[in-house]
Amino acid sequence: MIRAFLALPLPEPILDRLTIAQHRLPLPRPLEPETFHITLVFLDRQPEPVLEDFHNALEAMARYAPLLRLDGLGSFGGNDPDAVFARIAGDARLSALHMKSARAAREVGIEVPGRKYVPHVTLGRFRKGEAQPEALARAMQAVEPLTSDLWLAEEMVLYRSTLRPEGPVYDPLARYKLG
């Protein structure tokens, strides 16, 4: 079984901006900048043949390059945040790429949750009760506005995700040009 996800890697200038913002936030569990990405679809743990079928479906799919930009900060978890992220504003091609990828996953038997797609880059995580919401909100306001120029996503990557105590390790399994 391989734990995997499909994502858009980030260009170096965006990684630099996110790293600077990340260092200005009170994040007890910051993610390593080399792990920053925009998830299109999380596949969870899948048998290798199913991932091969998914790969073949992606190869056959028309893939258009979305236009993206950083669009501020947010958090997941409500009053007890469990993650801080950079919001990503994308065009209709980003939504279409997500929907087509999720449909391809479902067609090969991968269960994909039907929740609303929120394009983002996770910067750090909190354990239950670890976040101090008021201090976090002040720090996030001090970092705002976290924006960027537009950039065109050039590829999507199918990653293997290996969970380790020191943090996840992501290894590319396949790359797909967008255009």
Q: Which residues are catalytic?
A: 37, 120
Alpha carbons 142 and 146: distance in angstroms, whole number: 10
135-142, Cβ contacts within 8 angstroms, sequence gap of 24 or more: 135/26, 136/25, 136/26, 136/75, 136/81, 136/84, 139/24, 139/25, 139/26, 140/25, 140/73, 140/75, 140/84, 142/24
CA distances from 147 to 59, 69, 70, 71, 103 (A): 32, 7, 5, 5, 30
